[in-house]
Every structure is written in C-alpha cells, then in structure tokens.
Amino acid sequence: MNIPVTKDNVIMRILYIFPHPDDESFGPSTAMSVQRRQEHEVFLLTLTRGEATKQRHKYGYSPEEMGDVRYKEMQNVAKVLDLNGLTVLNLPDSGLKEVDPRIIEKAIIEHFEAVRPEVVVTYPVHGISGFHDHLVTHAVVKRVYLELKERTDYLRRLAFYTVTEEQAAGFELFNLKGSKPVEIDCVYEVEEIDLEKANLGLDCYVTYRNTIDKSGIRDFIKGKAHFEIFQEDFDPPLKDLCVSLQ
C-alpha cells in the first residue's frame, strides 16, 4: 500500500550512505520502506564490500570472496526494499581511517552528482556503535554535503539515522551510543509492512544470520525510526524527512 503524497511532501530523492553491507538493515530499512511507499526515490551507497568480517573464517572465504558474497546479499536487499539504486564501492572494510579522506570525498562527490539527491542520510557523529568506519563516514559525508550545497541547487537536507539513548541502553550485544531527546528531529512511525520488509532484508544476509539472530535486532527495529537533522531543530520532531525543507 502506497502512502499518498501530500502537498508538503513532493517526490524526493533520498540517498543513504553507510560504510558496510547490512548497515542499512540494522535500523534505517524501516524508514526506507516507508519512503518507498510514499513513492520517494531511495538510493543506497555503501563504501565497502564488508570483506573484513570475521564471519568469513566460518566459511573459509578469503576477504575478496567474502566481499563478493556480501555484495550479492546486498543486491537481494535492494530488491526486497525496492531501492531505486544501489552502489557498492570497494574501499577497505575496517580501514577507512587509513584512507586519504580526499579519495573517499571524490567517490562520494561523483555519486552525489550522478544521483542528485535532495535528502542525504548517514550515521550521526557518534556512529551509534562508535566504530571508526562509521565515524569516518559521518565526517566525510558532512564535509562533501556542505561543499556541494554551496555550489549546487539540489541538496536540501542532511540527516543522521540514530537511536535514542533508551534504545542504546537496552541493546545487550553491542555497546551502543544514542542521541538525546533534544537532538532527535524526525521520528518515523513504522507499520507492520515496513517491519516485514526490514526482516526480509535481514534474511538476505545469510552469512551473517547467526550474528543477526543473536543480536536481537529484529525486536530492536520495531516501532519507530529516529533521525537527527543537521543545522535544523524541530520540536516536536517531524514525522517525515521530506517535509518542512528549507
């Protein structure tokens, strides 16, 4: 069921940028499902192929083989979520902190220019997990967004997918960081159809299934999806990233 587009909610292009395969499925996929039902165009750029995961040892895969497998899994996720576009780069998984940031910037700039998104989404400054690949991605995406916003006419909003402090405290497998209530500017209400899509997306990561099951992420993503919005404050929070654009 598609959600009617209101006069304040015209069709937008939304670009999600994350460092690893499955980052999109560990939370933001529910909002992506809502956005596709609203008929927005949703694109995903992943900076690495996720080849460094320790799961590869279980299957006897080399890093290259693991990257190939995870890329195929991501293609299945893109179909499940009905994404308008998926691009997976081959920057070093777990090694972004050692990459010249200008190389990452160039790749992201090229993708911005190809997709021309109005709304860009990435990790918040704390990266949720605090993993350095997440922190590098936040910093580089923000830098590129600000540079291009000064010289293009399409970029209108930068948002950060996040979790609340309460959610972070309740997650047992990893030590997560959450955003304070005052920092949260948009909250999506998630319906059963969106949760179903998110769970089907998680199912696509066959090589990561044990970790997914142990993590409790399926319960974690129920309910609502939270976002910070860069240099904008909304109280009460918006219910949609594509409204009230400056």
Rounded distance between C-alpha atoms, residue 200 and residue 84, angstroms? 17
Domain holding 175, by residue range, is 13-229
Q: Would you state the pLDDT for residue 223?
A: 83
- If you average pLDDT over residues 231-240, what whole number do you get? 97
Q: Would you state the pLDDT for residue 161?
A: 98
Report yes or no on 55 lying in a domain.
Answer: yes
Rounded distance between C-alpha atoms, residue 94 and residue 20, angstroms? 9
- Please state the domain count of the chain: 1
DSSP state of 179: B
In this predicted structure, which of 12-16, 41-45, 129-133, 211-215 has the lowest mean pLDDT?
A: 211-215
Q: What CATH number should be reported for the domain holding residue 201? A: 3.40.50.10320
Whether residue 2 is predicted with pLDDT greater than 70 in this model: the reply is: no
Q: Model confidence over 3-20: pLDDT tens digits?
A: 544 445 589 999 999 999
Q: What is the layout of strands, in order, in the sheet containing 186-189?
A: 85-91, 41-48, 13-18, 119-122, 157-162, 224-229, 186-189
Report yes or no on 241 lying in a domain.
Answer: no
Q: Of 40, 37, 35, which is closest to residue 13 (Cα–Cα)?
A: 40
Question: Rounded to the nearest 10 degrees, what angle do helices 29-37 and 192-203 cross at?
Answer: 130
- If you average pLDDT over residues 113-140, what whole number do you get? 97
Whether residue 64 is predicted with pLDDT greater than 80 in this model: the reply is: yes
Q: Would you state the pLDDT for residue 7?
A: 44
Report yes or no on 238 lying in a domain.
Answer: no
Report yes or no on 211 lying in a domain.
Answer: yes
Report yes or no on 1 lying in a domain.
Answer: no
Strand intervals (E) in the chain: 13-18, 41-48, 85-91, 119-122, 157-162, 186-189, 224-229
In the chain, the percentage of residues whose pLDDT exceeds 70 is 96
At residue 58 the predicted structure's pLDDT band, cuts being 50, 70 and 90, is confident
Report yes or no on 239 lying in a domain.
Answer: no
Q: Would you state the pLDDT for residue 184?
A: 98
Q: Would you state the pLDDT for residue 115?
A: 98
Report yes or no on 87 lying in a domain.
Answer: yes
Report yes or no on 246 lying in a domain.
Answer: no
